[in-house]
Structure 1
Amino acid sequence: MSVIPPSNPLRESQPHVAPSATDVLPPGTKIDELFERNMTEPYVLQRLSPRVWWVSVTNYTTVFLVGEESVLLFDAPLKRYDGVVSAVSAVTDKPISTIVYSHFHTDHLDDIDRYVQAAQDEGRTLRLVASEQTDAKLAAARSILPRPTQTVSWPNGSFDFEGSRVELHGFEWAAHTEDHAAWLLPSERVVHVPDLISPDQPPFWRFAANERFLFTRDNLDAVDKLEWDHLSGGHGNVGDHGDLAAEQEFIAELLAVCENEVSRNPLEAYVDPELGSHTAWFAKFLETTSAQAADKLREKYGHMYGFESSIRANAEAVTLHLVQYH
């Protein structure tokens, strides 16, 4: 496992630098003033390897690989088309030929029609790649998004992009959504795994709208075991292995606090006929437990970006986990 720097609070002591589209970012280094840059600049662009760049557009992040003839892009985050395309154009005039659907959630795919239309306008057909699991979920949900033109075997498979291997590492038991996976560029030592972690930040609301908190720590471990230097998390800063370890520490602390509160004041303690329904009892149980968790963790993490906005929702997700599983 990765070593957590002594100061943890999600590793704010790491070196932070201004973004560069030309200089490769040293592993373990973060982009400085990221929120302010996201709010004032059309995009934030950072080179991660000789052929891979990371781009952030108002808090949605992804990566793209520049090949010999064209560009491979992961995802098509909603309402970020102009910023992403401008960032790609800042480093190459090669067309975007391939887009990978990282997972089903449409906030990471909602601009795909614009990319498809742009390719058609240029007389090209866009290559859309997804896992078999994502393809199946798109169909099951009757999604209006364009279907993949190519699928990759689930849970482990790969495809070739202009001589570069792109690997799929699907989670056997996924936390975020059933088709959640890590997409690895082994030759570039870059992994793209949106919504697993937001480096440099406490976890987003309910662990990034995590559908099954039960498997979160296993998924973090699975990604940590892969070989890479830089992580793209879909949100937050550029990540590294130490961020996964710091997230594990945060989760362990939150679990311990919630377990203690549930032990002291279990759901049965909230039975109150005057509230009029058992739904009200449960709401009070979650509200009180999450408030206690926030109070316990505020001294260590309270100064961090987004803590107050996320801690109670994250504590509710953990509390639900505690009453649903043993």
Structure 2
Amino acid sequence: MTHKLRFAAATALALVLSTQSLLAEVPSTVGATYRAESSTEALAPGEKIENLFTKNMKQPYVLQKLTDRVYFYEGGFYGTIFYVGDRGVLLFDPLEGQGPGLLKAIAGVTDLPVTAIVYSHNHADHINDTPVILKAFPGAEIIATAATADQMRHLGSKHPAPTHVLGADEKSFDFEGLTVDVVRALNDAHAHDHAIFVLEGEKVAHIPDVINPDQPPFWAFAGSASYLGYRELVEQIGSLDWDYLSGGHGNVGSRADVTFYLQFLDDLEAAVGQAMGEVPWGFGVDASKLTAHTPMLPAWYDEIARRATESLRSKYGDYYGFEAATPANAEMVAEYLFSYR
């Protein structure tokens, strides 16, 4: 399903549920304190926005103040941040389908123009509405790492090209006196050109699609090519100096979310390892009917993933998206453990 079809499906479901007063909300993975959404009152580090699933289903977008100058935006389950300077706004990742909402949200807190856009990585669902922002603010520069610029050229990207390319030796850039640290991801678990952006002083970090705060890892570790390097990327994020995490999806993140992820990965690896020792090769396949060996490995992984998911359910089953995401993640861990024994 394309991103546009997924967005349309989510929009249709939101319309169906729009008459309901409240949708089901699940427990916090980190025992967070929830606060009412506010564009004027900042969250304290560790606090989260209440009823975020319901808000994503029923509101055009969510806007939450994080610090005096940084705001968290989420619409259609896609999130990002923007920084309000003295002369302009620094916007990260103009999310697909969210350009109009972003413009409205920004206008709700400042009259200043968007003067700079940052691409965190070259995935269309996070940068597709850049033309919407540029139509409103045609003078805005586009900042991206050389890895992202190279990736866009290599793939023949139709998205607006970066106008300010950060070389491999550039560790930060300046926006109106704000230093934004640029930390290249040590592993390309999610994207070949991923970088972590940390707003110094504000202590806000932005890296989509690795940690979904207040949720277990998303299906297939958010579209990662493999499990190889994923844990190390989570650890790298945790090693940096920040109080608030913008993860591209999920709630506002905190240090507790990193701790939760690492514990979940420990438990997932253990559960998969246990299941690998229990499930015999050839499980679920009638060898007398085979015309190729191809079904053997998928059937083996599938049963391992099923058993691992079942073993984790008592501890994690009530959390957001566990049932839909964990089998695919367990299968990826099984492939990783089998390949790199």
TM over 0.5: yes
Query: Which runs of 5 or more residues in structure 1 are unaligned?
Result: 1-8
Q: Which moved more, 1:164-173 or 1:55-64?
A: 164-173
Give the counterpart of 2:59 among 41, 52, 63: 41
RCO (CA 8 Å, sep 6+): is it higher in 1 or 2? 1
Amino acid in structure 2 at the alignment position of 1:314: N
Deviations 1:266-323 (A, max 9, x none): 5466673524322211221121111111111111111112111111111111112112
Structural mapping, 1:1-326, within 5 Å:
11-120=29-138, 125-154=139-168, 157-265=171-279, 267=281, 272-326=287-341
Q: Secondary structure at the match of 2:171?
A: strand
CA contact (8 A) 1:167 1:185 kept: yes
Separation in 2 of the partners of 1:117 and 1:105?
Answer: 21
Query: Which runs of 5 or more residues in structure 2 are unaligned?
Result: 1-26
Q: CA RMSD in A?
A: 1.6
Deviations 1:38-95 (A, max 9, x none): 1111111111111000011111010000000110000011111122211111111111
Amino acid in structure 2 at the alignment position of 1:25: L
CA contact (8 A) 2:100 2:132 kept: no
Deviations 1:183-223 (A, max 9, x none): 01011100001011000111111010012321111111111
Q: Secondary structure at the match of 1:165?
A: strand
Q: Secondary structure at the match of 2:196?
A: strand
Amino acid in structure 2 at the alignment position of 1:79: G
Query: Kindly, what percent of the aligned residue pairs are identical?
Result: 39
Describe the shift of the 1:156–1:312 C-alpha distance in structure 2 as closer, same or farther (beyond 3 A).
farther
Amino acid in structure 2 at the alignment position of 1:36: T
Q: Which moved more, 1:153-162 or 1:233-242?
A: 153-162
Q: Which moved more, 1:259-268 or 1:28-37?
A: 259-268
Separation in 2 of the partners of 1:286 and 1:154?
Answer: 39
Question: How much does 1:119 deviate?
Answer: 2.1
Separation in 1 of the partners of 2:51 and 2:205?
Answer: 23
Number of corresponding residues:
314
Amino acid in structure 2 at the alignment position of 1:58: G
Question: How much does 1:117 deviate?
Answer: 2.2
CA contact (8 A) 1:287 1:316 kept: yes
Amino acid in structure 2 at the alignment position of 1:323: F
Separation in 2 of the partners of 1:276 and 1:298?
Answer: 36
Separation in 2 of the partners of 1:172 and 1:305?
Answer: 28
What is the TM-score when the length of structure 2 is the normalising length?
Answer: 0.88
Separation in 1 of the partners of 2:259 and 2:273?
Answer: 21
Separation in 1 of the partners of 2:154 and 2:68?
Answer: 39
Aligned residue number for residue 15 of structure 2: none
Amino acid in structure 1 at the alignment position of 2:302: E
Question: How much does 1:173 deviate?
Answer: 2.4
Q: Secondary structure at the match of 1:294?
A: helix
Separation in 2 of the partners of 1:280 and 1:229?
Answer: 47
